[in-house]
C-alpha cells in the first residue's frame, strides 16, 4: 500500500457536493430495499422513502416505484449516471448540463426536458439508456429480486461456435430486463397522446437501441495451463461512456420534425435532415434523435431553461471551430485572461516501504474566461 501524505496539516481536496449525498442515500436505500420483499411491513420504510424523496415523478411512476422499489432505486442510479455523462459530453458546450445536477435527483424535472430542443432529445435517449444499463448490470450482480443473469438460451452469435469451441456460460448482463424496465418506468411519463410524448418515447427507444447495439461479448479461457480448450462467453453492457458518445454523435445529426409533420401527428416519425430543404421527408431510423423546437443560444442566463449563461466560463483560445473555443463559448463578448492558482502535491519522495511524502506547491495558470 502506498500512502500519500501532505506535508503540514491534512487538507481536504474538495467539499462533498449535495448530489453525492443524494446518490449515497439512494445507494444505501437500494441496498436495503433489495431485501424489502422479505421484510416485515414496518421495515419497508426505506424504499417508500426513496420513492417519496425523488421529486417530479408522475403518478404512474410513483405506482411503479412502490411496486418495484428495488428496481426503481437502481433506475435512479441510472438517471444519475446519465446526468454525469451529459456533463462530460457537453463540458465544452454553452449548455453544459450543470443545472440538471443541482436541481433534483430526477433530471426529468429540468426545464430542458420539458422542451423539444435538440438537447432535450439527447437527454431522453441518454436517460433511457442509463436506466436500462444500470438495471441490466444490477440483475447480473444479484442486486434485484425480480431478475438475475440473462439466461441467453435464445441467443445465437454470428461466429461458428464449434470451430471456436466456445459456449455461452457465466452471468450475462440482463439487457432484456433492463430495457423492459426502462420502457415501463420512463415511457410511463408520456401519457399524453400528443406529438411531444411520441417524440420523447421515440428518443427513449433510440437510446435503448444504441445501448443494445453496443453490447459486448466477454470470454474466459478454460483448460490446462491456459490452453483455452474451451472458452465460455457471456454478454456484458459496454462502458456507459461508449454509449453516451454514440448518442452524442446522434445528437449532432438529430432530425428536426418539420412543420407539416407537426400538423399531422400521425406521420410524426418521419423527419428531415437539418439544413437540407430539398430532400424529401423520409422515415427516421430507429437510432435517430428527433426534436421539434429550435434551441436558444444559451448565451445569456435564462431561468426558463435553467441556463446560467456563459459568462465566467473557462474557454479555449485558438481555432474558432474547436469546441469550447472562446469565440463560440463567449458568444462574441470576448474573453479575459485570469490567473488561477491551485495547490498541488509536488516534489514527491518515496520512502521504503511504503510511503510517499509530498510538498504542497502553488500552481499558477493563466486561463481564458468569457466576459
Ligand X SMILES: *[C@@H]1O[C@H](CO)[C@@H](O)[C@H](O)[C@H]1NC(C)=O
**Positions in the binding site for ligand X (CB under 6 A):** 91, 96, 98, 308, 310, 313, 346-347, 359, 361
Q: Least distance from C-beta 252 to ligand X, angstroms?
A: 20
CB 30 within 8 A of CB 73: yes
Q: Least distance from C-beta 13 to ligand X, angstroms?
A: 17
Strands (DSSP E) along the chain, which ranges? 3-6, 166-168, 216-222, 230-236, 255-256, 270-271, 282-283, 290-291, 301-302, 307-308, 314-315, 335-351, 355-370
Nearer to ligand X, 96 or 246 (CB): 96
Q: Least distance from C-beta 130 to ligand X, angstroms?
A: 19
CA proximity to 164, closest of 225, 219, 120:
219
Nearer to ligand X, 149 or 367 (CB): 367
Q: Least distance from C-beta 99 to ligand X, angstroms?
A: 8
What phi, psi does 270 have (nearest 5°)?
-110, 125
Q: Least distance from C-beta 302 to ligand X, angstroms?
A: 12
Nearer to ligand X, 270 or 313 (CB): 313
Degrees (nearest 5) of the Cα angle 107, 47, 69? 70
Q: Least distance from C-beta 299 to ligand X, angstroms?
A: 11
Alpha-carbon span 283 to 202, nearest angstrom: 12
Nearer to ligand X, 8 or 226 (CB): 8
Nearer to ligand X, 58 or 347 (CB): 347
Nearer to ligand X, 197 or 245 (CB): 245
Phi-psi region of 189 (alpha: psi -120 to 50; beta: other; left: phi over 0): alpha
Nearer to ligand X, 228 or 314 (CB): 314
CA proximity to 171, closest of 147, 140, 143:
140
Q: Least distance from C-beta 348 to ligand X, angstroms?
A: 10
3-state secondary structure of 336: strand
Phi-psi region of 366 (alpha: psi -120 to 50; beta: other; left: phi over 0): beta
| Helix%, strand%, coil% for the chain, nearest 5 | 45, 20, 35
Nearer to ligand X, 170 or 296 (CB): 296
- Dig out the grid coordinates for 99 from the structure: 443545472
Q: Least distance from C-beta 83 to ligand X, angstroms?
A: 12
Count how many Cα atoms sit within 13 Å of the Cα of residue 236 in the half-sphere of its side chain: 14
Alpha-carbon span 213 to 250, nearest angstrom: 14
Q: Least distance from C-beta 238 to ligand X, angstroms?
A: 24
In sequence order, which residues have a C-beta less than 8 Å from that of residue 148 and are 6 or more positions away? 139, 140, 142, 171, 174
Count of beta carbons in the 10 Å neighbourhood of residue 38? 8
Nearer to ligand X, 176 or 369 (CB): 369
CA proximity to 240, closest of 218, 206, 216:
216
Q: Least distance from C-beta 307 to ligand X, angstroms?
A: 8
Nearer to ligand X, 191 or 359 (CB): 359
Alpha-carbon span 33 to 143, nearest angstrom: 9
Amino acid at each position: 500500500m502506498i500512502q500519500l501524505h501532505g506535508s503540514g496539516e491534512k487538507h481536504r481536496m474538495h467539499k462533498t457536493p449535495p448530489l453525492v449525498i443524494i446518490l449515497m442515500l439512494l445507494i444505501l436505500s437500494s441496498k436495503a430495499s433489495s431485501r424489502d420483499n422479505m421484510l416485515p411491513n414496518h421495515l419497508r420504510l426505506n424504499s417508500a422513502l426513496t420513492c417519496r424523496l425523488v421529486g417530479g415523478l408522475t403518478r404512474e411512476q410513483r405506482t411503479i416505484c412502490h411496486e418495484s422499489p428495488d428496481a426503481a432505486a437502481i433506475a435512479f442510479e441510472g438517471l444519475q449516471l446519465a446526468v454525469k455523462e451529459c456533463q462530460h459530453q457537453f463540458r465544452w458546450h454553452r449548455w453544459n448540463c450543470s443545472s440538471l445536477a443541482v436541481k433534483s435527483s430526477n433530471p426529468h424535472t429540468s426545464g430542458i426536458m420539458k422542451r423539444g430542443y435538440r438537447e432535450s432529445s439527447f437527454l431522453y435517449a441518454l436517460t433511457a439508456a442509463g436506466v436500462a444499463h444500470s438495471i441490466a448490470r444490477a440483475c447480473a450482480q444479484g442486486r434485484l429480486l425480480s431478475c438475475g443473469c440473462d439466461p441467453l438460451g435464445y441467443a445465437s452469435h454470428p461466429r461458428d461456435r464449434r470451430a471456436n469451441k466456445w459456449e455461452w456460460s457465466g452471468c450475462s448482463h440482463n439487457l432484456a430486463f433492463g430495457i423492459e424496465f426502462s420502457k415501463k418506468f420512463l415511457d410511463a411519463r408520456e401519457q399524453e397522446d400528443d406529438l411531444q410524448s411520441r417524440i420523447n418515447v421515440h428518443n427513449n427507444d433510440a437510446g435503448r437501441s444504441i445501448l443494445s447495439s453496443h453490447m459486448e461479448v466477454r470470454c474466459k479461457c478454460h483448460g490446462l495451463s491456459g490452453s483455452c480448450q474451451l472458452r465460455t462467453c457471456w454478454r456484458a453492457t459496454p462502458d456507459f461512456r461508449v454509449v453516451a458518445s454514440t448518442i452524442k454523435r446522434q445528437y449532432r445529426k438529430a432530425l428536426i420534425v418539420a412543420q407539416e409533420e407537426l400538423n399531422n401527428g400521425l406521420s410524426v416519425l418521419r423527419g428531415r435532415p437539418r439544413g437540407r430543404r430539398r430532400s424529401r421527408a423520409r422515415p427516421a431510423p430507429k437510432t435517430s434523435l428527433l426534436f421539434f423546437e429550435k434551441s436558444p443560444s444559451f448565451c445569456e442566463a435564462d431561468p426558463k431553461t435553467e441556463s446560467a449563461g456563459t459568462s465566467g466560463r473557462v474557454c479555449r483560445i485558438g481555432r474558432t471551430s474547436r469546441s469550447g473555443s472562446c469565440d463560440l463559448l463567449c458568444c462574441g463578448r470576448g474573453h479575459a485572461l485570469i490567473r488561477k492558482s491551485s495547490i498541488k502535491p509536488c516534489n514527491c519522495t518515496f520512502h521504503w516501504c511504503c510511503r510517499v511524502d509530498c510538498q504542497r506547491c502553488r500552481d499558477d495558470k493563466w486561463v481564458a474566461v468569457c466576459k
